[in-house]
Amino acid sequence: MNTTRKRWTMRAAKEVTYDIVVTSEIFDPGNPELGMLPCGQESGGTRLVVMDETVDALFGDRIRKYFSQNDIDVEYLTLPGGDENKTVEAFLKVASKLTEVGTSRVGTPPIAIGGGVLQDVVGMAASLYRRGIPYVRVPTTLLGQIDGSVSAKNGVNYEGCRNRLGTFAPPPRTLIDRGLIATLPERQISSGLGEALKMALIKDARLFELLEEYGPHLVTDRLQDSGTEPGDPQPGLEVIHRAISGMAEELQKNLWETDLKRIVDYGHTFSPIVEMRALPELHHGEAVAMDCVFSAVLAVNRGMLAPRQLARIVDTTRRIGLAASHPMFADATVMKQALADTMRHRDNHQYLTLLTDIGETVFVDDLTEAEIDRAAEVMADLLREQEADPRGAVVCLPDQPQARQGHGAPETSAPLAA
């Protein structure tokens, strides 16, 4: 035996497979999908069902009936939605409840029924509980269905930063029932369409055309394609399927994000700081859409994107019920701080996705402060336009608490180095 050896190198690969399954009438006791275990085995004990508060109010009776009629032993935990509730405390609550119900390593996977916030919180708890247990994801918001549903990521906000704590751990099963989003307020539909807009801009011109043509209808109809006959266009269905397919295609080739150049980060470079500082004023997809516009302005100013395409992007953003600008996007200081913070997440590279056309992108790593100044001026113009004609504006709706504005917000990052 060689006793002088000083190093052992371990090498192992873990392949993951997970399904995103489209279903309908998911809470109909005759539909087996919800109760089914990921690996087809029999459940040996009580399963935890974590529900979003609004989902419980809307569907709780049907969900309870589903499990009782199918003789599946479950206990319930209800948590509030909203990014302000995506906290360490929320994920610890789930962990405690998993212990209380006696969750085992494999045989009793919890079920998460709710929006992106609930999915991220339960996903994080499941990924850390016993160092990782499987769970089942049932997204009930458009954003959760077209974006989070494909993702391997979860997490909670921490110390004023979005998703600062989290893990990569995809659940083996995600169930998509488009009927569940029929109860969403229009504003939440628009927020979800913000992520569809991102996907359209980076790789799917047809998806963009659907949003452009059917935008207002998609919002009011909540992508249900109500009243359509066989053979009629089904823009709601097509938008959801194209958005999920696009996301799946992009994530599959770089699921663990070993490559930090990701076109799916379009719309997510400048928005995270704005979103956290504006909490709870701005929803995720609202901030993402504004970032999409800001980044399109940067591309036009570089001569990479035709101004006509920017006009279409701004118009489509408004047609899906979203505002194109916000005071923080018109504030170059905030934008520089946002980029600096995001660069730390990209190992000190910008890796900024810019558009050369709708559906076509390049990466840029040499954006200057002067370019941010110019783009912020355009965002200020768009803001004035929006204030004069508030049809596309979603900020400070009467049912929302008044937000803190950017200038007085605490600093969470240093300015971008020159």
Ligand X SMILES: NC(=O)c1ccc[n+]([C@@H]2O[C@H](COP(=O)([O-])OP(=O)(O)OC[C@H]3O[C@@H](n4cnc5c(N)ncnc54)[C@H](O)[C@@H]3O)[C@@H](O)[C@H]2O)c1
CB of 180 to ligand X, least distance (A): 5
Under 8 Å between Cβ of 361 and 354: yes
Interface region with ligand X, contact rule CB under 6 A, candidates 143-151, 211-219, 344-352, 407-415: 143-151
Per rule CB under 6 A, is residue 117 in the interface with ligand X? yes
Rg of the Cα atoms in the chain: 22
Per rule CB under 6 A, is residue 184 in the interface with ligand X? yes
Per rule CB under 6 A, is residue 237 in the interface with ligand X? no
Query: Residue 282 or 310: which CB sits closer to ligand X?
Result: 282
Draw the binding track, 305-334, toward ligand X (x: CB under 6 A; -: no contact).
------------------------------
Under 8 Å between Cβ of 199 and 265: no
The amino acid occupying position 341 is D
Query: Residue 256 or 387: which CB sits closer to ligand X?
Result: 256
Under 8 Å between Cβ of 39 and 17: no
Q: Which residues pair with 364 in a beta bridge?
A: 352
Per rule CB under 6 A, is residue 180 in the interface with ligand X? yes
Per rule CB under 6 A, is residue 267 in the interface with ligand X? no
Per rule CB under 6 A, is residue 81 in the interface with ligand X? yes
Query: Residue 180 or 297: which CB sits closer to ligand X?
Result: 180
Query: Residue 107 or 168: which CB sits closer to ligand X?
Result: 168
143: how many CB neighbours lie within 10 A of its CB? Answer: 27
Angle between helix 88-101 and 116-128 (nearest 10):
60
Per rule CB under 6 A, is residue 86 in the interface with ligand X? yes
The whole-angstrom separation of Cα 204 and Cα 227 is 27
Query: Residue 104 or 168: which CB sits closer to ligand X?
Result: 168
Q: How far is CA 144 from CA 237, 244, 322, 356, in A?
A: 15, 10, 18, 28
Per rule CB under 6 A, is residue 147 in the interface with ligand X? yes
Give the SS3 label for residue 232: coil
Closest by CA to 129, choosing from 157, 154, 162, is: 154
Size of the site for ligand X (CB under 6 A): 33
Q: Which residue is listed with tokens 């799917």? A: 204
> Edge to edge, what strands does the sheet with 136-139 contain?
19-22, 173-176, 136-139, 111-114, 47-52, 74-79
Under 8 Å between Cβ of 188 and 283: yes
Interface region with ligand X, contact rule CB under 6 A, candidates 2-10, 49-57, 171-179, 224-232: 49-57
Query: Residue 147 or 204: which CB sits closer to ligand X?
Result: 147
Considering only residues 51 through 70, tell me which ones interact with ligand X, judged by CB under 6 A.
Answer: 52-55, 58
Cis amide bond preceding 280, omega within 30: yes
CB of 208 to ligand X, least distance (A): 20
Per rule CB under 6 A, is residue 394 in the interface with ligand X? no
342: phi > 0 → left, psi -120 to 50 → alpha, else beta; which? alpha
Per rule CB under 6 A, is residue 143 in the interface with ligand X? yes
In the numeric block, which tokens belong to residue 42? Answer: 């029999």
Under 8 Å between Cβ of 181 and 24: no
Closest by CA to 262, choosing from 308, 199, 205, 323, is: 199
Per rule CB under 6 A, is residue 222 in the interface with ligand X? no
Query: Residue 140 or 174: which CB sits closer to ligand X?
Result: 140
Element (H, E) at 250: helix 235-252
CB of 408 to ligand X, least distance (A): 23
Draw the binding track, 150-169, toward ligand X (x: CB under 6 A; -: no contact).
-x-xx--------x------
Under 8 Å between Cβ of 35 and 23: no
Query: Residue 85 or 103: which CB sits closer to ligand X?
Result: 85
Per rule CB under 6 A, is residue 190 in the interface with ligand X? no
Under 8 Å between Cβ of 247 and 148: no
Per rule CB under 6 A, is residue 236 in the interface with ligand X? no
Per rule CB under 6 A, is residue 144 in the interface with ligand X? yes
CB of 133 to ligand X, least distance (A): 18
Per rule CB under 6 A, is residue 114 in the interface with ligand X? yes
Residue 203: active-site member = no
Closest by CA to 193, choosing from 297, 84, 316, is: 316
Of these residues, 86, 153, 198, 203, which one is catalytic?
153
Active site residues: 153
Interface with ligand X by CB under 6 A: which residues?
Answer: 52-55, 58, 81-83, 86, 114-118, 120, 140-141, 143-144, 147-148, 151, 153-154, 163, 180-181, 183-184, 188, 191, 283-284
